Amino acid sequence: MEPGTEVRTWLAPAKINLALHVIGQRADGYHLIDSLAVFTRFGDRLEIERAELDEFSVSGRYAAGLPLDGDNLVVKVRDALRREAGMQQGSPVAIRLEKNLPIASGVGGGSSDAAAALNGLARLWKLDIDDNSLARIGLSLGADLPMCLKSKPLIARGIGDEVSPLSAFPALGLVLVNPGIAVSTPDVFKALSSRDNEALPPLPKRLDFHTIRNWLETTRNDLEPAARSIEPAIGEALKALKKADAAFARMSGSGATCFGLFETGNVAKRAAIEIRARHPDWFVAATRSMEVSDGEA
């Protein structure tokens, strides 16, 4: 195929940890988690096409400061998948990343970019490779990658690598807010006061906006107190969401991005406009999470 004849665009959605319990620590230092995660319709975008030589470029609001060499997870994924496939199958590609999600912000942006690249390249190169093999390659580069490869509502356990997609989960109206700060995940884990907390309670049998909101009230993000002690602005983001009438607000992942739950997409959009007007320098995005219907998982 001639270079440039097939350009595919892949969404790298934001990963939102609706609840995240830290339930232990392995001997190698990795923390064990129990988390309910969803993925949003808003995220980064990757364009992938065949080329004469490998190329990688980044554009978008959060492009500045991202490495363009082998330190970037997208480049690491390309090279790892090519090693797996063999040079004959892994022909040169141009990858363009549109970076719409803040960096080091608790929404799995880098991992989601890498997962989109893994999925996209496996298809572009027409590799005979199953989901388990992709997850294995992904896990070698980051604990978040197996769940980002699924990018559907799921429960993640272990170090994030034991992924159980949910058979049904509704779309949720969300507003994502980041007060313009990056938080180091290792620093947050270091600041944890307890690493041995109880697991998530079982999900309600009937899943709708109200039952999920009520269930979330019985759960935690165990990383939130530690992150807030490092970066008090996280508290300001949560306050802004509550002031905009979020039905529920919490920090995602290791922060500093926080999410607010809203009953409809339109209510979420209005809340985002209100928060943006008060905090023009912040990252604010209204979106919906991806749903899964019975039998799709």
Q: Verify cis geometry, omega within 30 degrees of 0, for the bond prior to 256.
A: yes
Question: Any catalytic annotation for residue 187?
Answer: no
Smallest CA-to-CA distance from 250 within 280, 225, 275 is with 225
- How many other CB atoms sit within 10 Å of the CB of residue 270? 16
Which one of the listed residues 144, 150, 152, 222 is annotated catalytic? 144
The predicted structure's pLDDT at residue 7? 81
State the 10-residue block means of pLDDT for the chain, 297 residues long: 68 98 92 97 97 96 91 95 85 96 92 97 94 93 93 96 95 97 91 92 96 98 96 97 98 96 96 98 97 74
Residue 267 to residue 103: CA distance in whole angstroms: 27
**Half-sphere CA count of 65, side-chain side, radius 13 A:** 7
**Half-sphere CA count of 294, side-chain side, radius 13 A:** 3
Could you give the 3-state DSSP secondary structure of residue 74?
A: helix
Residue 15 to residue 238: CA distance in whole angstroms: 18
Smallest CA-to-CA distance from 117 within 78, 84, 166, 154 is with 78
Question: Any catalytic annotation for residue 54?
Answer: no
Handedness of CA 12, 101, 255, 177 (dihedral sign): negative
What b/e string do you get for 82-114 counting C-beta neighbours within 10 Å, with b at 16 or more? bebbeeeebbebbbbbbbbbbebbbbbbbbbbb
Residue 211 to residue 166: CA distance in whole angstroms: 16
41: which residues sit within 8 A by CB, 6+ positions away? Answer: 11, 13, 287, 288, 289, 290
The predicted structure's pLDDT at residue 200? 97
92: which residues sit within 8 A by CB, 6+ positions away? Answer: 3, 50, 51, 52, 53, 54
Cα–Cα separations (whole angstroms), residue 117 to 56, 93, 123, 228, 278: 11, 11, 10, 32, 36
Q: Which amino acid is at 60?
A: G
Q: Which amino acid is at 166?
A: L
The predicted structure's pLDDT at residue 294? 74
Residue 60 to residue 40: CA distance in whole angstroms: 18
Which one of the listed residues 15, 99, 150, 152 is annotated catalytic? 15
Q: Which amino acid is at 46?
A: L
Is residue 218 classed exposed, middle or buried when 0-12, 13-18 and 19+ CB atoms within 10 A define those classes?
exposed
Residue 71 to residue 57: CA distance in whole angstroms: 13
Residues in the chain: 297
Report whether 74 contacts 113 (CB < 8 A): yes
